[in-house]
Amino acid sequence: MIRSYNCIPSFKGYNGYPGSVCVSINEEVVHGIPKKERLIKDGDIVSLDIGVIHKGYQSDAARTHGVGNISEEARLLIERTRQSFFEGMKVASEGHHLFEISAVIGNYAESFGYGVVRDLVGHGIGTNMHEDPQIPNFKQLLRGPKLRAGMTLAIEPMINIGTWEVEWLDDDWTVISEDHSYSAHYENTILITEGEPEILTLR
């Protein structure tokens, strides 16, 4: 489908990643590798993270979905992870500072007792998928650089029901919550403007 729009699936082969989409299930935070032999079951929560290159420019977005009948705990995690992104958007405009976004996202998620992943962060994005600056999802000691109209950023809260700590599996890609608690991921590529940010990957 991506290629049918004359675009390039940016994840395919990126640093050796084998898929064109990251599929992360339940305790998998990010970078899960889709496998034919692994079945998605009723009650699972599944994060899909995908990137597209169009005319030399990159985009990056992620969503977490519930499959069939999921627990109320899982439903709230998905909903609140998504909302943490939109809380951050309230300070994502020219004149604010980058880490104001980080603080708002982290404060919102942590108000529910969730663990905000610290080992993985959002990032600048443009002609390369990962560009400066790095964008944590939790409060920083400094304010960070001033936001200016024209900046493009990938903001991506990664929130665990339990601990914020994570570990990497032996495939060197899949990251899971250390206590195997559910994790949710919500991401958009945004454009900073003088007013409200433009969300470039929102449909």
pLDDT recorded at residue 202: 87
Query: How does pLDDT run across 61-82, given as a tens digit for each residue?
Result: 999 999 999 999 999 999 999 9
**Residue-range domain boundaries for the chain:** 3-199
Q: Is 155 exposed, middle or buried (0-12, 13-18, 19+ CB in 10 A)?
A: buried
Structure token pair of residue 48:
């899909």
- Over residues 86-98, the mean pLDDT reads 98
Query: How does pLDDT run across 175-200, given as a tens digit for each residue?
Result: 999 999 999 999 999 999 999 999 99
In 3D space, the residue among 127, 164, 143, 139 whose CA is nearest the CA of residue 29 turns out to be 164
Phi, psi of 156 (to 5 degrees): -145, 85
Residue 203 has pLDDT above 80, yes or no: no
Identify each DSSP E strand in 42-114 by its residue range: 45-54, 57-66
CA distances, 16 to each of 10, 101, 159, 188 (Å) = 12, 31, 26, 23
pLDDT recorded at residue 91: 98
In 3D space, the residue among 71, 61, 29 whose CA is nearest the CA of residue 46 turns out to be 29
Q: In whole angstroms, give the CA distance from residue 120 to residue 9.
A: 22
- Over residues 76-100, the mean pLDDT reads 98
Query: How does pLDDT run across 121-163, given as a tens digit for each residue?
Result: 999 999 999 999 999 999 999 999 999 999 999 999 999 999 9
CATH number (3.60.20.40, 3.40.50.12590, 3.40.50.150, 3.90.230.10) of 3-199 reads: 3.90.230.10
Angle at Cα 121 formed by Cα 119 and Cα 124, nearest 5°? 150
Residue 107 has pLDDT above 80, yes or no: yes
Query: How does pLDDT run across 24-46, given as a tens digit for each residue?
Result: 999 999 999 999 998 999 999 99
pLDDT recorded at residue 93: 97
Tell me the average pLDDT of the chain.
97
Q: What is the pTM of this model?
A: 0.96
Q: How many CB atoms lie within 10 A of CB 171?
A: 11
